[in-house]
Amino acid sequence: MNLSRLFLFIICIASARAQSPINLIPQPVSILPQNGIFTLNKKTTIQYNQAEGRAVADILSQQLNRPTGFGLVAKSGQTGTIQLNLTSTPDAQLGQEGYRLDVSAKGVLITANRPAGLFYGIQTLTQLLPKEIEGKDAATRTWTLPAVKITDYPRFGWRGIMLDVSRHFFTKDEVKQYIDQLAKLKFNTFHWHLTDDNGWRIEIKSLPRLTEVGAWRVARSGHYGDLAEPKPGEPATYGGFYTQNDIREVVAYAQARNVTIVPEIDVPGHSMAALAAYPELSCTKAAVSVNPGTPFSEWYGNGTFKMKVENTLNPSDEKVYDFLDKVFTEVAALFPNPYIHVGGDECYKGYWAQNPGCQALMKQLNLRHVEDLQGYFMGRVEKILMAKGKKLLGWDEILEGGISSGATVMSWRGIKGGIEAAQAGHNVVMTPSTFAYLDYVQGDPTIEPPIYAALRTRTSYGYEPVPDGVDAKYILGGQGNLWTEQIPTLRYAEYMTYPRGWALAEVFWSPKEVKNWPNFVQRMETHFERADVAKINYSRAIYDAIIKTTKNGDKLRLELEGEIPGLDIYYTIDDTMPDQFSTRYTQPIDLPDGPITLRTITYRSGKPIGHLITLSRDALQKRAR
């Protein structure tokens, strides 16, 4: 974007603020506020000019009818007060997913090259309406839209969110509900993590034990990773799976909302659920159970680890490839998109190193390192996928053993793998844990349920998917990942997704030049209100104080800051409860010696808005860098 275009955008935003509250997420490419408003009423008509636009028009009428009660019916035609038009000659600026939205006092016109563009146009249209449009029940109010001209199209073609349904099973209706939320934010890819150590969730008719055994584990409550082993004879009652008809239903639902589903079958590691069903596919051939969340591995802090229980397929056993051929034959038939994600991450190779068959295969292939067997394994898997017309997609570990030029890499261990893959000519989806892992704690770890890392919304919003020195043509886009070890319900999945998912929606859709954190915060807070109406859960951690400590000689120095503008931070260290009459934080302070306790809370406009956070001196000491 050149300077003149950026200046125009700023003027448009300023004008929008002055005339009407236009608070869209993700931010469009161009917004030109106009004079006047359009009022939606029972006489409003919805029409589409080409048959391909009918499905989108029907979705719009459904979105509008439930909260308004108007009973609008979409029809073919060119005179609707809400008119959806597909171009007869493609508009090069809009591409496959862009749209133009023109709202005036007379009506609404949405123009696009493809139905996907119309779909994204109606999502923007809905966001222009009052927040009650998000409700599930009819509301009595005036339904107005500000007059505006919007031109919009995405920065990246891959805008994704991954949901892990292995650690905890989510029903097909819950998955559809989650997809519906993502589609409204203009995400177009749903990465469905269907298999792992803790459950196999997809029916494979030629291998029935995968769901008869692999989809179920013993029930456990408590913190994931610390749970007890299954007892002898204990029934496995917790879990579930999707039938192939379930899969088809969800795929069709997603397609209607312009969301592509990418299935993941995680191999050769993370395969304990498969091995519980077919233990002969492992090196030891020992019986294992679907893991309920026990501490089955040891991590050493430098990225290396050891598995206490075997969870890897045997790369030297031809029966493994026969098994995978059956699995991918059925998976490929269910998902029309070109990709199948094959995992490839965190594959422990200790059992391979001790296996005679693996050692013989290494000798045959003239491999010096057992790690190189994964490259051989992935090469075999890619051939299986290619025979079914599919492309291989995997986590960045697939680079370590060597992969073909046609493989696509998902970079999760920071951005390093994505840079290496792009420089080697691979297509890349950027999903680094440091910016895009939605299972990470999003506020102070003393407030949030514990997990091993933290990620604030401001950090996610600040992400730039194209690293310096990398040709942007290899960066397909980006994705947020929601691993569910600690997420047992859809309600909590929403809490962990938003508002970070809103931030990533803007990172992947909007021009990077117009990103502005204070402006996003303003729009985000209006979406809190809309989410309340929609009964969608979200985190309010952005209102909490950020607490840091450093060493200043022999003193412990305290630093407090707010994640968003406009917060006042008050604190006490005298064992009293803080309020707006306590000490207001203005600059770093050296804490006095002794067994003090910090208590801090945020206010805005004279009212408490954040959580009370309480930290002992020992806890503060542990945070010191």
Pairwise CA distance, residues 386 & 166, whole Å: 26
Q: Which residues contact 162 (CB under 8 A, 6 or more apart)?
A: 190, 191, 192, 193, 264, 431, 479, 480, 481, 482
266 is catalytic: no
Q: Which two tokens stand for residue 458?
A: 């401001």
Q: Identify whether 52 is a catalytic site residue.
A: no
Pairwise CA distance, residues 189 & 476, whole Å: 12
Instruction: Enumerate the β-bridge partners of residue 40.
Output: 143
367: number of Cβ within 10 Å:
17
| 412 close to 431: Cβ distance less than 8 angstroms | yes
- Rounded Cα distance, 78 and 238, in Å: 53
Q: What is the dihedral of CA 405, 410, 416, 422, to 10 degrees?
A: 30
Which of 346, 396, 494, 506 does the annotation list as catalytic?
346
270 is catalytic: yes
Q: What is d(CA 152, CA 112) in angstroms, rounded to the nearest whole number? A: 10
- In Å, how far from its chain's centre is CA 226? 26
How far apart CA 447 and CA 613 sit, in angstroms, is: 7
Nearest to 68 by CA among 124, 146, 141: 141
Q: How far is CA 559 from CA 96, 247, 546, 548, 554, in A?
A: 48, 50, 8, 5, 16
CB 281, CB 314: distance < 8 Å: yes
Q: How far apart (Å, rounded) are the C-alpha atoms in residues 198 and 216?
A: 8
Backbone angles phi, psi at 562, to 5 degrees: -100, 145
How far apart (Å, rounded) are the C-alpha atoms in residues 584 and 606? 12
Q: Is the dihedral of CA 190, 191, 194, 197 positive or negative?
A: negative
Q: How far from chain centre, in Å, is Cα 368?
A: 38
Three-state SS at 184: helix
Distances (CA, A) of 38 to 19, 20, 64, 77, 122: 14, 13, 14, 20, 15
Peptide bond into 208 cis (omega under 30): no
Integer Rg of the chain from CA: 26
Q: Which of 125, 142, 138, 147 lies closest to 59, judged by CA?
A: 125
d(CA 178, CA 417): 29
Asked, as a colleague might, if the bond just before 268 is cis with ω within 30 of 0, I would say yes
- Of the residues 196, 197, 397, 485, which is catalytic? 196
Catalytic residue among 270, 426, 527, 611: 270
Q: Is 407 helix (H, G, I), strand (E, B) or coil?
A: coil
**What residues act catalytically?**
196, 270, 346
